[in-house]
Amino acid sequence: MRTNHLKHTKRLPRFIRLLGRLRPLDLPVTHRHNTVELFHGGRSFFEALFTAMRSAERTIHLEYYLIHDDRIGADLAHELAAAVHRGVTVKLIYDYIGCLDTPASYFKKLIKKGVELLAFNVPSFKRGVYWFDKRDHRKMTIVDGTVAFLGGFNIGNEYAGCSADKHIFRDLGFSIRGEAVCELETIFFETWNGERSDTATLKPVDRPRHPVSKVGDAAVNIISGGPRQRRSYIREAFQVNIASATEEILIATPYFVPGPRIIRSMLRAVRRGVRVRLLLPARSDVRLMLLLGRISYATLLRGGVEIFELEREILHAKVMLIDSERTVIGSANLDQRSFHRNFEINCLVDNVQFGGQIRELLLEEIAASNPVELDVHERRGLFVRFMERVVSLFAWFA
């Protein structure tokens, strides 16, 4: 697909009107000078990530939902310990619930090596049951304040493609160099400060100031979401971009519980002539999410949305491409948890070259996936329909 002046002319007024109607509390800052690199598959992602860590001279800041004590987890621990030994300051935020299966000894060893650790949302009876439903779902590493690695990759063998075939995750990651990295580092320290002191007055953390470099032509907006916000910036970013599309929307997400607003946005897009294709998982590490995701299939298929299910691996990529050039990519799923209860980090990348790479990859995945047909979907058994009704009662908590 080629960009053209007519397409921009049609899309821009609608985009501006939607921003005005939604009235976000704070419009995201556009960082216009960045280089964004896409990593398709865990091997290339972790190779680039560890290479960047080896070149770190001042700081490494990491924030991850899940860290396994396996081969990739051991490689990470080795690189962090080596960086500390060179005099690099290393800070790591990990989600307490996400890492419940990770032995405490793993983190104790990191502390002994000099890594500064912060467990996100440690259980506390003082907060009642609220603490249990809050997650730090971000996946982010920032090296020397100049390059950031983001996407769907947690730290574990299944993400790097070195576990048993049936457990390999199909994921996407990317790196950013340029102006946007400074905002990502600010978000990291907001979490670091917030979790270190819930009730006491927060003390600012000293962090080195790095010169802002203008290294590319990719425009990047950072969309940070969390339960402390009065409205969901993550959902609004999806909604506004869907509504601005004029030709094509491609979406891949592993957990699909979009809610009525996103569904309506997709159906409106189809009615105005936009081709909408969804790539969803045929199997999942959370089986309940498959039932929840398929509840909306009939409505979407009748409305003209095309749905494809990936079978050969477990889909874990979280990406949306608008008109081949504007990409929403990061840690957030199209589900209620990512919209309202997780701390997430997404990036809106406006760049034709990056969008072209995303489109090529998504179309390859769609071509290798099974299309969902309405008549076949409607013939699913009574037991499946009954279970869908039951789990739909708990969709908000999934």
| Residues marked as catalytic | 137, 139, 144, 316, 318, 323
How many Å apart are CA 312 and CA 293, to the nearest integer? Answer: 18
The rounded distance, in Å, linking the Cα atoms of 250 and 360 is 11
CA distance 72 to 199: 36
Q: What's the CA dihedral at 344, 177, 315, 324 to 10 degrees?
A: 100
Kindly give the pairing relationship between strand 319-322 and strand 326-330. Answer: antiparallel
Per the CB < 8 A criterion, the answer to whether 326 and 179 are in contact is: no
Number of other CB atoms surrounding residue 104 within 10 Å = 9
The enclosing H or E element of 118 equals strand 116-120
| Phi and psi, residue 303, nearest 5° | -85, 0
* DSSP label at residue 84: H
Q: What is the DSSP string of 180-241?
A: HHHHHHHHHHHHHHHHH-SSSPPPPPP-PPPPP----SEEEEEEEE-TTSSS-HHHHHHHHH
